[in-house]
Chain A
Amino acid sequence: MNRRADRARSRPRMLPAVLAAGVVLAGVAAAQSSTALWTASAPSHGITVTAGTAGIEFVAPQPVDGATISPGASVELQGGSLRATGDVELELSVTRDATGTFSDGDVFLQLGFAEPGEECVPTEMGLWPGARVGIGRLTASGGGAPGVSMQVCALFLMAETATEGSGAAVRTAITITGVQR
Chain B
Amino acid sequence: MKRIIHGTVAAAAAAALCAGGSGSMASWQGATTTEQTTFTMGELGLTTSPGTWLMDGAAATESSRAVPGSTLRYTQVFTLTLDGDGLAARITLDAGAVSRGDAFEPSGVSLSAPAVPDGDGWLVTQGGDMTLTLEFEWPKGAEIDDAAQGADITIDASELLVVQEVTP
**Interface residues of A, Cβ cutoff 8 Å to B:** 37-54, 86-88, 142-144, 179-180
B67 at the interface (CB under 8 A from A): yes
> Total interface residues on B, using CB and 8 Å?
50
User: A38–B149 Cα gap in the complex (Å)?
Assistant: 46
CA distance A142 to B140 in the complex (A): 17
Distance, CA A48 to CA B48, complexed state (A): 20
Q: Are A42 and B72 in contact (CB under 8 A)?
A: no
Number of CB contacts from chain A to chain B under 8 A: 121
Q: Is B161 an interface residue (CB 8 A)?
A: yes
Cβ contacts under 8 Å, B140 to chain A: 180
Binding site of B, secondary structure by majority: helix, strand, loop or mixed?
strand
Chain A neighbourhood of B12, CB < 8 A: none
Pick the contact of A44 from B51, B89, B166 — CB < 8 Å?
Answer: B51
Interface pairs (12), CB distance under 8 Å: A37-B166, A39-B44, A40-B46, A41-B162, A43-B157, A49-B60, A49-B66, A49-B153, A50-B65, A50-B152, A50-B153, A51-B67
Q: Which of A41, A53, A143, A180 contacts B159 (CB 8 A)?
A: A41
* A178 → B minimal CB distance (Å): 12
Binary per-residue interface labels of chain B (133-148) against chain A in the complex, 1 for a CB within 8 Å, 0 otherwise: 0100000100010101
Task: Bits for B114-132, please: 1 = Cβ < 8 Å to A, else 0.
Answer: 0000000000000000001
Say yes or no: B162 contacts A39, CB within 8 Å.
yes
In the bound assembly, the distance between CA atoms of A99 and B162 in angstroms comes to 71
Residues of A contacting B74 in the complex (Cβ-Cβ under 8 angstroms): 44-45, 47
Residues of B within 8 A of A48 (CB): 152-155
A50 to B146, CA, bound (A): 14
Chain B nearest CB from A181 CB (Å) reads 9
Contact among B60, B67, B68, B160 with A47 in the assembled complex (CB-CB below 8 Å): B60
List, in ascending order, chain A residues with CB within 8 A of B15's CB. Answer: none
**A45, B51: Cβ atoms closer than 8 Å:** yes
Give the shortest distance, in Å, between A126 (CB) and chain B (any CB).
24
Q: Which of B80-134 contact A (CB under 8 A)?
A: 81, 87, 89, 96, 103, 132, 134
A52 in contact with B48 (CB, 8 Å): no
Q: How far is the CA of A40 from the CA of B150 in the complex (A)?
A: 38
The CA of A43 and the CA of B160, in the complex, are separated in Å by 6
